[in-house]
Structure 1
Amino acid sequence: MLCRNWELPDVLRSMRSLEDRFNKDYHYTWTFLNDVDFTELFKLETTAMASGDTQYATIPAEDWNTPWYINETKYNECVKKFTEENIIYGFSKSYRNMCHFNSGYFYKQELLKNYDYYFRVEPGVEYFCDFQMDPFRLMREQKKKYGFVISIIEYEETIPTLWPTVEDFLHEYPDAQNANSAVEFVTNKEPIGFAVLDVETNSAYNLCHFWSNFEIGDLNFFRSDVYEAYFTYLSKSGGFHYERWGDAPVHSIAAALLLDKNEIHRFEDIGYYHNPFHTCPSSNNMRIGKRCICRDEDEDDEQPISDLEPNSCLTKWWKYGSGKRFIREYFHEEDYLEKFNA
């Protein structure tokens, strides 16, 4: 979890939700990262909330701060322009640092070097259903490298040159794209179904991305030479700072192009909420069996936005990605039922 000291109440809410729904049975270690030192109170309360160990680290300045090759004058002018145009988080340099860090540095932190997989958790999120199976086991046994729950479209004004930069990267590294990639997931613009996603963009990118506030992934994918080349190329272009590239489209395009599409998994079985979007298993029997309590209203008594609203990219993933599959399909039926009925 990448978080701030002042976010402690929301950190504890997320921890409580995930512990109750999953980690109380597995006791995985919680790793907390911050660009400043954590307070003793933060450490005390998060340690008390965790069923397993906790560990804390301050991110090195060179991994967090603006890279040396970013022109400060141009940077300030771009931030001012984005602020005047009221582009979401366009005013914030710290947000840019966070997206840059999440795109190219989180997996390099010393505390993570002994791990092969990570489960990204954000402050203030909620998990609606019992997991009943270990998603890390699925990732390991089924050789999955990237897992998500929600897929939506990105704000195009935050990434005007991201896709052209990716195309330049592929031109320079012609062997980078996987032969069985999910390239159509991020490039096909044809409407699908009745709740159609019909987005006009200024590039070949259709703006679809995996909402990266929930990720379960293989750290060795991000440590690979091809991903490092991809991130370095994007970083040196300056787009994280001169524009406001989010780590979600950066991770998503990388997964869609560099991985075999069957190495990407949508966790259909996991109910999840991050304001303003939510997802819950579509099967009523599964909701009952997994003891789901799906959110009907948010804190402002407004209906949260379903992951299958017209701005959802899930139908594109089902058609152009690895399809629609449940966790139980990957394991022997008796193995699943033993855990399901425990």
Structure 2
Amino acid sequence: MTPTRYIVLALGIIISLHFILTFSHEGYGQSTSLFRWTESSPKPFAQISDNYDTNTSQPIRKAKATFVILARNGDLNGVLSSMKQMEDRFNNKFHYPYVFLNEQPFTEEFKKLTSEITTAPVFYGLIPKDDWYQPNWIDEEKATNARKKMEAESVIYGVFHIVTCVVSTPGYVRQRFTVSLLEYQATIPTLWETTKSIFLQVYISVKALTLKVEFMEEHPEHVHKNNAMGFLSPDGGSGFISSLLSSLEQFRDRQS
């Protein structure tokens, strides 16, 4: 056989194997499909089930609310995945708007795909550099050493750098909040006693749960053997495993 015939024979074998694998292995067929390369939009939803409960009532009224999403352009697939689930199961009825924030301008692809996946209004905001990055007056060497120390001592969230995002939106005021019902002394050693006393005196939920623990101790006959205290607190009420942490802001309409 001439070299040309060997080449033709080899190509024929390769093409035959390709078609056999395409029809016998779904994963191979999807990964080599021409449609996969010609489609303009990404497909991040392959692993998300479309089975969900649609037997829900229509909303009677809407709250004054929005979805505020802090994301970068590289987070597009994850954002689309989250939006699909939210739209399928909830927001297709309520149409709450989305507000995307980034310290860099969003790409046209990001805007196009996130706006196409919902019928709700979508807004895109740019966070000023001074509001995003650590202030210049911070002693970075001292801050780095403190983070490393907390990491070495296994302090929960010790190496997280939480940035407060300031958005100048007319008609809104900022209301900062960071509430933690389970905290560690190593995190804020200089403010520990003060913070702990504030939780006990001011935070209503903590106070209510503390009173409930005292009631349970005084009246054990009313405590069901299968109660949920073990889920709420690992030490009988002295500490709590729930937490509400926010790196963003809560907005309130001045006119409301």
Normalised TM-score (structure 2): 0.49
Which of these two proteins has the greater Rg computed from alpha carbons? 2
Relative contact order higher in (CA < 8 Å, ≥ 6 apart): 1
